[in-house]
Amino acid sequence: MTIINHIQKIRDSRWFSNLTTLIIIIYASILGFKTIGEVETTYSIFLLFADYFVTIYFVFELAIKMISEKKFFNFFKSYWNIFDFIIVFVTLLPLESSGYAAIARLLRVFRILRLFTSRPELKKIIDMLIKAIPSIIDIVILMFIIFYIYAIIGSFFFVDLPSGLWKDFLISMLTLFRVLTFEDWTDVMYEAMEVYPLSWIYFISFIIIAAFVFFNLFVAVIIGEMQKLQEADMKEEIHADSLKLDLLLEEIQSLKKDIKELKEDKLR
């Protein structure tokens, strides 16, 4: 086994993925502690050492991924690898001693995003959400149309209410968003009912359409993509099993042939 094969084995191993995940989680905790002034002052040397350690480890991990590729440029064919490379490269820029020290600290926060690439399961979930974006956009457009219609109706009927929640189209949209999040939406409805007793129909119908129907559509889209992901994984497993079975059958055929040849030799 060549050195490249050993490196590929390390890259694909579960323990290496778990180690990277653990280091990112610890680093995220350290970043949280650094926001506490007293902790940062007391343990400044430890925090600095941890920051350097994480930086070195990320460079080491990235080097392993690059070296394990048969061709160097194959590394950049995966957008996840490009994502890793950009985060590591940007955090290596010497910005601490410049006027961009605040930006450098902010960029360190993005190291936590590497948790997505260190866990294959998280990669699959993100890929699934990306594939669901076209369907989600269609739902959002349809939802905006409903918001638009209800905002026009609301600003037409409730414009004179003392709260001023419906005085124009844009504020009506914000009010409807408040109703959608169920943030004191009954107060908004009861105020309207003092002037228009049947206005409850407006609010209840909006909640049923926007909150219940559309939220369930979002859930349905995500569940559908998850099912596709599971089906793809099952197909890969079946394909891998069929390849193993084909190899096993070939070996059996070869053994039968060898046994037959041995029998013929004995008969001679």
Per-residue model confidence as pLDDT tens digits over 25-42: 887 777 777 666 665 566
In order of 23, 29, 88, 93, the CA distances from 26 in angstroms are 5, 5, 17, 22
Between 248 and 192, where is the model more confident?
192
**Domain map (residue ranges) of the chain:** 3-118, 124-255
Residue 205: predicted pLDDT: 92
Asked if the model's pLDDT at residue 130 lies above 60, the reply is yes
Per-residue model confidence as pLDDT tens digits over 172-190: 999 999 898 888 888 889 9
Residue 43: predicted pLDDT: 63
CB 7 within 8 A of CB 64: yes
The mean pLDDT of 115-134, rounded to a whole number, is 77
The mean pLDDT of 138-146, rounded to a whole number, is 88
Fold assignment, 124-255 = Helix Hairpins (1.10.287)
Asked if the model's pLDDT at residue 3 lies above 70, the reply is yes
Residue 213: predicted pLDDT: 85
CB 222 within 8 A of CB 133: no
Determine the Cα–Cα distance for residues 211 and 115; give it in Å rounded to an integer.
Answer: 32
**Residue given tokens 């076209």 in the structure block:** 134
Residue 41: predicted pLDDT: 61
User: In angstroms, how far is the first alpha carbon of the chain from the final one?
Assistant: 43
Angle at 39 between CA 37 and CA 40, to 5 degrees: 65
Structure tokens that stand for 140 in this block: 């959002």
Q: How confident is the model at residue 223 (pLDDT cuts 50, 70, 90)?
A: confident
Per-residue model confidence as pLDDT tens digits over 67-116: 877 777 777 877 777 877 887 777 777 665 555 555 666 666 767 777 77
Residue 77: predicted pLDDT: 78
Question: So what CATH class is 3-118?
Answer: mainly alpha
Give pTM, 2 decimals. Answer: 0.60
Average pLDDT, the chain: 79
Asked if the model's pLDDT at residue 230 lies above 70, the reply is yes
Between 110 and 127, where is the model more confident?
127
Structure tokens that stand for 40 in this block: 């940062």
Q: Position 79: which residue type?
A: Y
CB 211 within 8 A of CB 147: no
Q: How confident is the model at residue 150 (pLDDT cuts 50, 70, 90)?
A: very high
DSSP of 96-141, one letter per residue?
A: TTSTTHHHHHHHHHGGGGGHHHH-HHHHHHHHHHHHHHHHHHHHHH
Helices (H), the chain: 3-12, 14-34, 37-42, 44-67, 79-91, 101-109, 115-118, 120-157, 169-180, 185-195, 200-206, 214-267
Query: What is the percent of the chain with per-residue pLDDT over 70, rounded to a whole number?
Result: 85
Residue 100: predicted pLDDT: 56
Determine the Cα–Cα distance for residues 7 and 81; give it in Å rounded to an integer.
Answer: 16
Q: Position 209: which residue type?
A: I
Buried b (16+ CB within 10 A) or exposed e, 10-21: ebeeeeebeebe
